[in-house]
């Protein structure tokens, strides 16, 4: 069972969970959302550090509230306010924090930096975003799809935009859950080859499919889910003008909606640059699942923490 596999463990990415275990976790999150915690407080008396080297709205607030609802004490730690700023190594920081805390939720840059912290930590480490992947976002996204569609198998999931950390986690989750995943990016912005190869293996195991293309209209055609993210990731703002030209055909707008399935779900992990990767009328329109998706960060992370500490 996924509960036994996650108990006391790190959660660095989605690679170590099977499709069945991933679906168990998402189903559990939906159950908790609908029925509530019913007095369960697995973090009672525990302190969880939120070590953030990148800014955040949804990830920070949803984790703080999740820890509080589970009876714990969240402690926000900005990387710029710690001795990391003066050159203390991430390993030394991890060793010290492990002596004070019962868990570390880490939002950082390189995935290798997350792995270095996890190697020396004596308490569970949770990935709150790296440049390679964003697994907690994918949990919330899959929870939203389950809530709207009652299942995953055979759905066409089309992601339009940059092949970034969010796209990587969506590829892993979607192919493990039996979906037909399409990733449409401009040339030069494809997802990392090693993750594409990894997900192709999942396709063989879970009877799913993965198509990486530069043709957004083909990806959007008859899609059950249309998903996008900002065209410029954090730390790469200087690329904004270049990306505007490269990505203009990847915008989710009324024309793209008309190509998709009749009751297509529109998803965006937020924050959104309205009028760039998605238009106002689509983001706020009848097809949008974006606000439920944002709320589900909380419920997915409550389920994850419960499985690690329960």
Partnered with residue 213 across adjacent β-strands are: 184
177-186 average pLDDT score: 98
Q: What is the pLDDT of residue 37?
A: 84
**Residue 234 confidence (pLDDT) above 90:** no
**Residue 266 confidence (pLDDT) above 80:** yes
Q: What is the pLDDT of residue 245?
A: 86
92-99 average pLDDT score: 98
Confidence class for position 26, pLDDT limits 50, 70, 90: very high
Do 56 and 96 fall within a single domain? yes
186-192 average pLDDT score: 97
Higher pLDDT, 203 or 233: 203
CA atoms within 13 A on the CB side of 47: 10
Do 187 and 127 fall within a single domain? no
Q: 116 with 91: CB under 8 angstroms?
A: yes
Do 173 and 94 fall within a single domain? no
Whether the bond between 271 and the residue before it is cis, its omega within 30 degrees of 0, is: yes
Q: Which DSSP string corresponds to 227-267?
A: EE--SS-TT-GGGHHHHHHHHGGG-BSHHHHHHS-TT-EEE
Q: How far apart are CA 178 and CA 153, in angstroms?
A: 5
Is 274 one of the catalytic residues? no
What does the pLDDT look like over 50-67, one tens digit per residue? Answer: 999 999 999 999 999 999
Q: Which of the following is catalytic: 297, 299, 301, 306? A: 297
**Residue 246 confidence (pLDDT) above 80:** yes
Is 83 one of the catalytic residues? no
Q: Across all residues in the chain, what is the average pLDDT?
A: 95
Q: Which of the following is catalytic: 136, 199, 203, 269? A: 269
Rounded (5°) CA angle 211-15-8: 155
Q: How far apart are CA 231 and CA 250, in angstroms?
A: 9
Confidence class for position 87, pLDDT limits 50, 70, 90: very high
Partnered with residue 76 across adjacent β-strands are: 50
Q: Which domain holds residue 48?
A: 2-133+297-309
Confidence class for position 237, pLDDT limits 50, 70, 90: low
Do 105 and 152 fall within a single domain? no
Is 287 one of the catalytic residues? no
Confidence class for position 255, pLDDT limits 50, 70, 90: very high
115-134 average pLDDT score: 98
Do 168 and 91 fall within a single domain? no
Do 287 and 142 fall within a single domain? yes
Q: 12 with 114: CB under 8 angstroms?
A: yes
What's the token pair of residue 81? 């306010």
Confidence class for position 238, pLDDT limits 50, 70, 90: low
Confidence class for position 240, pLDDT limits 50, 70, 90: low
**Residue 239 confidence (pLDDT) above 90:** no
Do 117 and 153 fall within a single domain? no
Is 107 one of the catalytic residues? yes
pTM for the whole structure: 0.96
How many independent structural domains does the chain possess? 2
Do 155 and 283 fall within a single domain? yes
Instruction: Name the residue among 98, 44, 23 with its Cα closest to residue 309.
Output: 44
Q: Which of the following is catalytic: 111, 134, 172, 268? A: 134
Is 137 one of the catalytic residues? yes
93-101 average pLDDT score: 98
Do 85 and 211 fall within a single domain? no
Q: Which of the following is catalytic: 229, 251, 287, 293? A: 229
Is 229 one of the catalytic residues? yes
Q: Which residue has the tokens 């991890």?
A: 94
User: Residue 98's domain is classified under what CATH number?
Assistant: 3.40.50.1370
Do 141 and 96 fall within a single domain? no
Confidence class for position 4, pLDDT limits 50, 70, 90: confident
Confidence class for position 3, pLDDT limits 50, 70, 90: low
**Residue 248 confidence (pLDDT) above 90:** yes
Q: Which of the following is catalytic: 131, 133, 136, 137? A: 137
Do 90 and 224 fall within a single domain? no
Confidence class for position 39, pLDDT limits 50, 70, 90: confident
Do 183 and 65 fall within a single domain? no
């Amino acid at each position: 069972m996924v509960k036994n596999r996650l108990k006391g463990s790190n959660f660095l990415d989605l690679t170590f969970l099977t499709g069945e275990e991933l679906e168990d976790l998402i189903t559990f999150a939906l159950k908790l959302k609908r029925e509530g915690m019913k007095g369960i407080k697995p973090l009672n008396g525990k302190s969880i550090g939120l070590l953030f080297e990148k800014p955040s709205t949804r990830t920070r607030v949803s984790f703080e509230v999740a820890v509080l609802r589970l009876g714990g004490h969240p402690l926000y730690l900005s990387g710029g306010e710690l001795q990391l700023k003066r050159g203390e190594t991430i390993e030394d920081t991890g060793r010290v924090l492990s002596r004070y805390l019962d868990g570390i939720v880490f939002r950082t840059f390189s995935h290798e930096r997350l792995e270095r912290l996890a190697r020396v930590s004596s308490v569970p480490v949770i990935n709150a975003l790296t440049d390679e992947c964003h697994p907690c976002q994918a949990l919330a996204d899959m929870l939203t799809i389950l809530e709207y569609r009652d299942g995953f198998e055979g759905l066409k999931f089309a992601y339009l935009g940059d092949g970034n950390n969010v796209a990587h986690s969506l590829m892993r989750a979607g192919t493990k859950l039996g979906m037909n995943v399409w990733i449409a990016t401009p040339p030069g912005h494809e997802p990392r080859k090693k993750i594409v190869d990894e997900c192709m293996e999942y396709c063989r195991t879970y009877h799913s499919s993965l198509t990486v293309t530069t043709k957004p209209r083909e990806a959007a055609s008859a899609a059950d889910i249309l998903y996008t993210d900002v065209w410029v990731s954090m730390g790469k703002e200087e690329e904004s003008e270049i990306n505007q030209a490269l990505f203009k055909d990847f915008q989710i707008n009324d024309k793209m909606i008309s190509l998709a399935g009749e009751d297509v779900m529109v998803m965006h992990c937020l924050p959104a640059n309205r009028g760039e990767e998605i238009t106002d009328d689509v983001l706020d329109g009848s097809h949008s699942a974006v606000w439920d998706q944002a709320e589900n960060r909380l419920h997915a992370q409550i389920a994850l923490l419960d499985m690690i500490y329960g």
